[in-house]
Amino acid sequence: MAGIENRRLTEDPSTDYPPSPEPRETWPLPGGVAWVYPAPRHRVLTRPVVPADGFSPGHRRVRRAQRGHPGQRFSMGALVTGYALTKMEYDRLLRGEVGTYVSFGSPHRGAWIPISLQALAHVAESIAPKLREQVNSPAARQLLALHTETFVSDPAQDPLREQFLNELSGYGDWPRQPVKLGIANGAGNGVGNGIPPGALTLSSETANLRLRLYAQDNTDDFVVAALRFLTQTLEKKTSGLPRADSAPGGTPASFGTAAE
């Protein structure tokens, strides 16, 4: 989630894409739904591609894909389905039904939400409840490389992530039956995203409130977030963290969303 979106805050990037066609059928999932699109002149799934985007598609639904043959998974869903496939192999529930496992831009070594945004989420619950809900959700705590439990706590690996990694390691880390393909959507030349470390990423000021967020730097006691409310001042500092906000890759509208 690192970076600044260089669009006007009123723009909605989702409007750049046409609406999805109606699916042939749907499969209800815990917390979501799967849309099924058979190929032309096909009524049953024979060699399905299964995109899993987001959190927790569920164990039983992955097993349902066994009725076909090769399956593909990408994005953050790749971590969930990779875990499911690895466990299914461990439990001897897979017998070659899944041919290919594809992860696209998946944070296998841990996802990143800027520490400054995590700090903001802890102090702005009343005005930005969705941000705090996202940062502190069990899924985020499992997937983030570093999480801050409170505004003042140091960034660290959350116990839920440690549990997730230990379970995955116990099952064998990776599924062995499918062909494994990994795609990185960062910059291939290693050049950063144009946001210099220490750059001001969000600024807001009223008569009673002054807020400043900054892109992560790797110096000691670096102030990533500063908040003044009336006469009280809060600062969120980090030491020696990687300059992940400036790393090569995309720049989603994280700070723009927080600003709105």
Predicted confidence (pLDDT) per residue in 151-168, tens digit: 888 999 999 999 999 999
123 pLDDT more than 90: no
- Average pLDDT of the segment spanning 134-146: 89
Q: Looking at residue 63, what is its pLDDT? A: 41
* Tokens describing residue 119: 């700090």
* Tokens describing residue 107: 């944070």
Q: Quick one: what percent of the chain has pLDDT higher than 90?
A: 33
Q: Looking at residue 230, what is its pLDDT? A: 82
CA–CA separation, 213 and 225 (whole Å): 5
| pLDDT tier for residue 260 given thresholds of 50, 70 and 90 | confident
Check: CB of residue 100 under 8 Å from CB of residue 72. yes
Q: Tell me the pLDDT of the chain averaged across its residues.
A: 80
193 pLDDT more than 70: yes
- For the CA atoms of 221, 211, 132, 76, the dihedral, rounded to the nearest 10 degrees, stands at -70
| pLDDT tier for residue 68 given thresholds of 50, 70 and 90 | very low
Q: Looking at residue 59, what is its pLDDT? A: 35
Centre a 10 Å sphere on the Cβ of residue 85 and count the other Cβ atoms it contains.
25
- Average pLDDT of the segment spanning 179-195: 85
3-state helix, strand, coil in the chain (%, to 5): 25, 20, 55
